């Protein structure tokens, strides 16, 4: 039974530090073998989870949601009012989207999402999070120097544009609705979704019009 004892777990971490294999691949292999041997995991289920997130569950989902918000003002209003209910219209609910909040970029406001304390992310809508999102550098700097961080992603905002950084400290998860690019007026929903990148839905990219 879980002890909920911080000191006990700190001691366990120190012990593990000096006893487990040095390579992560070997540590994970040993963990998987042990969990299978103890009847706590079925390998086929592990495979099925990896497959589900390889393609079907990924940023294409978020892109379709944004594309619809761009074309359908009523849907956008529903999305901004209750993100979790709005993505249910697509059947996209799942991990970490139970309390989804959509935030909209405008000429006056640019939104950026981070999790400074760990790496919270709306998995069922955007898939696995990028490596940089989980990095110490991004977590430390996004709240301190958002303009410097955005510049590294190639974004330069006018000084009067307000940056709103959303630090995911609770179970709410954030989706940035980027600005619809010029030149996309005639595109249908599917073509519009093709303009929406993963980074744009985190706030580290702007959407570009059709080439």
Partner 1 sequence: MDGMHDLGGVQGFGPIEIDPDERPFHHDWEARMWGLNEAMTGDPRWTIDWWRHVRELILPLDYLRRPYFDQWAQVYAALLIDSGMATVVELATGKAAGPRPELGPPMQAEEVAEAARRTTDFRRDGGAKPAFLAGQKIRARLSGAPGHTRLPRYVRGRPGTIHACHGNHLLPDAGATGEHRAEPLYAVAFRTADLWPEAAGSPDRIFLDLWESYLEP
Grouping H, G, I as helix, E, B as strand and the rest as coil, residue 201 is: helix
Closest CA to 92 of 135, 50, 122, 51: 122
Which residue lies nearer to partner 1 by CB, 163 or 179?
A: 163
Beta bridge partners of 163: 110
Q: Write down the least CB distance from residue 127 to partner 1, Å.
A: 6
What is the closest distance, in whole angstroms, from the C-beta atom of residue 186 to partner 1 in the complex? 28
Candidates 90, 55, 69, 57; CA nearest to 193 is 69
Q: How far is the CB of 185 from partner 1 (least distance, A)?
A: 28
Q: Using CB under 8 A, which of the segments 65-73, 75-83, 159-167, 177-185 binds partner 1?
A: 159-167
- Residue whose C-alpha is closest to residue 201's, from 90, 91, 64, 57: 64
Which one of residues 128, 155, 179, 189 is an interface residue with partner 1 (CB under 8 A)?
128
State which of positions 72-91 bind partner 1 (CB under 8 A): 84, 91
- C-alpha distances (whole Å) from 79 to each of 76, 89, 90, 112, 185 are 5, 10, 12, 18, 21
| CB nearer partner 1, residue 167 or residue 189 | 167
Which residue of the set 3, 115, 135, 156 is catalytic?
115
Q: Helix or strand or coil: residue 82?
A: coil
Which of 22, 120, 135, 168 is catalytic? The answer is 120
Site string for partner 1, 130-149 (x = CB under 8 A): xxx-xxxxxxxxxxx-xx-x
Contact characters 163-192, partner 1, x per CB under 8 A: xxxxxxxxxx--------------------
- Subset of 35-74 contacting partner 1 (CB under 8 A): 35, 37-42, 44-50, 52-54, 57-59
Nearer to partner 1, 4 or 182 (CB): 4
| Closest listed residue to residue 211, CA positions, set 185, 184, 193 | 184
| Active-site position among 6, 22, 33, 119 | 119
Interaction between residue 10 and partner 1 (CB under 8 A)? yes
Whether 207 is catalytic: no
Residue 64 and residue 189 in contact, taking contact as beta carbons nearer than 8 Å: yes
With b meaning 16 or more CB within 10 Å and e meaning fewer, what string describes 36-47? eeeeeeeeeeee
Q: Is the dihedral of CA 211, 178, 56, 188 positive or negative?
A: negative
Q: Which residues are catalytic?
A: 115, 118-120
């Amino acid at each position: 039974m879980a002890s909920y004892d911080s000191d006990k777990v700190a001691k366990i971490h120190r012990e593990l530090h000096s006893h487990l294999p040095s390579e992560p691949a070997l540590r994970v292999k040993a963990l998987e073998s042990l969990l299978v041997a103890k009847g706590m995991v079925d390998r086929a289920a592990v495979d099925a989870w990896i497959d589900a997130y390889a393609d079907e569950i990924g940023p294409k989902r978020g892109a379709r949601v944004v594309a619809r918000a761009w074309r359908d003002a009523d849907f956008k209003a529903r999305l901004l009012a209750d993100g979790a209910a709005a993505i249910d219209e697509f059947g996209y609910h799942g991990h970490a989207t139970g309390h989804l909040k959509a935030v909209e970029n405008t000429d006056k406001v640019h939104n950026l999402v981070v999790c400074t304390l760990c790496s919270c992310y709306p998995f069922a809508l955007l898939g696995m999070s990028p490596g940089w999102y989980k990095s110490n550098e991004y977590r430390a700097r996004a709240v301190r120097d958002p303009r410097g961080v955005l510049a590294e992603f190639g974004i330069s905002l006018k000084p009067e544009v307000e940056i709103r950084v959303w630090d995911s400290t609770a179970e709410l998860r954030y989706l940035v609705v980027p600005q619809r690019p010029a030149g996309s007026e005639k595109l249908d929903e599917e073509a519009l979704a093709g303009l929406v990148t993963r980074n744009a839905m985190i706030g580290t990219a702007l959407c570009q019009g059709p080439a």
